[in-house]
Amino acid sequence: SQQGEEDPQALSIQEGENATMNCSYKTSINNLQWYRQNSGRGLVHLILIRSNEREKHSGRLRVTLDTSKKSSSLLITASRAADTASYFCATVVNEKLTFGTGTRLTIIP
């Protein structure tokens, strides 16, 4: 299966701290995307990194991609209570997007 595995499955941190989530996958990809999902809602696209890119930034988000290790990480700096959500990595292979297992992030005020 191409499905990504995310680590950790759940993460609780204090507001203001940084949160790091990791994603591993199995085969070559076209790109990798990160999405956020608030409880019981749809997913929101956060950032896309192409297979020939190594790092991207968007506001407080930093994504890295290591294609040799088939892994990616999402860093959220200076976390806020509103960042509490589930975060999914998703890999694109041949036009198909496959989601990872997700990390449940809880920010403690």
Name the site residues for another protein (rule: CB under 8 A): 3, 30-31, 33, 35, 40-45, 48, 50, 88, 92, 94-102
Query: Cβ closer to another protein: 11 or 15?
Result: 11
Least spacing, CB of residue 32 vs another protein, in Å: 11
Query: Cβ closer to another protein: 18 or 58?
Result: 58
Least spacing, CB of residue 100 vs another protein, in Å: 6
HEC secondary structure over 30-65? CEEEEEEECCCCCEEEEEEEECCCCEEEECCEEEEE
- Report the alpha-carbon distance of residue 97 to residue 108 in Å, rounded: 32
Query: Cβ closer to another protein: 14 or 94?
Result: 94
Least spacing, CB of residue 45 vs another protein, in Å: 4
Least spacing, CB of residue 89 vs another protein, in Å: 10
Residue 107 CB: number of other CB atoms within 10 A?
Answer: 20
Phi, psi values for residue 42, rounded to 5°: -75, 175
Structural contact between residues 74 and 67, judged by C-beta atoms closer than 8 angstroms: no
Query: Cβ closer to another protein: 19 or 36?
Result: 36
